[in-house]
Amino acid sequence: MKEVTWKSPSNIALVKYWGKYPVQLPANPSISFTLSAAATTTTLKYKQGTGQVVVFLEGEEAPSFLPKIHTFLERTQKLFPFTREWDFEVHTSNSFPHSSGIASSASGMSALSLCLMSVKEALGITITDFFEEASEAARLGSGSGSRSLYGPMAAWGTHENTPGSNDRFAVAYNHIDPIFKSFQDTILLVDKGTKKVSSTVGHQLMEGHPYAAARFQQAHTNQTALLTALSEGDLEAFGSLVESEALTLHAMMMASTPYFILMHPNTLKVIEAVWAFRKETGTPLYFTLDAGANVHLLYPASHKDVTLSFIEEHLKTFCKDGSYLCDAVGAGPEKIG
Ligand code: DP6
């Protein structure tokens, strides 16, 4: 069998994608930091055949992933018209612990998309733009995965002030003050369990949601303001937009039918402690949240020592088994073989 290997990172949204319409198109624009430590490495082995797929996760056969991969291959037929004439083995592993509650769909789908792009290239099929097509494919697997293709930041979804932005694939975003390239993301693992709300169910909650129209509009306004904060190196404006986006995401969930609370009591304790620490010390430490209880702490590398001491002394106690992961803004995917 021939093979190709890509390592692709996870990403953390600053303006959140929450709500979509078929097929995998975003209801609003979003923009994210590309991460560096949290990543998926996928080796795709292939030989001529009939479209058979076998998946291995951390070396063990994992048939539970097959339905998602088959849906992905159906949706990406136009991009990868060759997949029915080849047999594949997908060998995938994550840098972060399986039970950490860190979603692997963005890094996993982007790594698989990049592997398939390399197969497409090896087969001599015309490619217009390697990363745009990889991002479009990743989007068809997982919306947020479209943003894992470029560092240090990526934007997905048509937005009036984001050059090149569109709903089909994400674009790299670089118009940022250098301080943001040094940003750290320390992920406090408040709850390691599987997600209470799958992303599919989560996005559906925005269909017919009483605040949907206002929320989608707000994402546009917030992204415009965030782009200004990013280019001016305005940490305070950055922090208040990012924290507001995180709380709005959770507010949408609380106000939907059915309703969910995905924060854990310790999530709130962390948020309160971060606010108090910022007020007392002036450290530019901000939080964001995913659709779960874990807290992402965002801060410049210049404040790493003071923040890590604060985490050790005051926040670790709110983490499950005292665990947290140290990550930082990264450069995007890497071809390994
Ligand atoms: C809260 O990308 O996981 O992390 O498109 O159904 O795979 P699917 O959803 P997914 O949703 C991510 C939602 C979010 C916000 C974000 O990353 O923008």
Ligand 1 shell residues, CB under 6 Å: 13, 16-18, 24, 30, 103, 105, 142-144, 199-200, 203, 249, 290-291
pLDDT, tens digit, for every residue of 278-335? 999 999 999 999 999 999 999 999 999 999 999 999 999 999 999 999 999 999 999 9
Domain with CATH 3.30.70.890 in the chain: 178-328
pLDDT at 158: 98
For 25-77, the pLDDT digits (tens) are: 999 999 999 999 999 999 999 999 999 999 999 999 999 999 999 999 999 99
According to CATH, where is 3.30.230.10 located in the chain?
A: 2-175
pLDDT of residue 102: 76
Q: Tens digits of per-residue pLDDT, 132-143?
A: 999 999 999 999
Task: Report which protein residue has its CA nearest ligand 1's atom 9.
Answer: 199
CA-12 nearest atom, ligand 1:
17
pLDDT of residue 99 exceeding 90, the answer is no
Residue 11 alpha carbon, nearest atom of ligand 1: 17
Pick the CATH number of 178-328 from 3.40.50.720, 1.10.10.10, 3.40.1830.10, 3.30.70.890: 3.30.70.890
State which ligand 1 atom lies nearest to the alpha carbon of 145.
Answer: 2
Give 334 Cα–ligand 1 centroid separation in angstroms.
22
- Rounded to two decimals, the pTM is 0.97
Evaluate whether 20 touches 309 at the Cβ level (below 8 Å).
no
CATH number of 2-175: 3.30.230.10
76 CA distance to ligand 1 middle (Å): 19
Closest ligand 1 atom number to CA of residue 143: 5
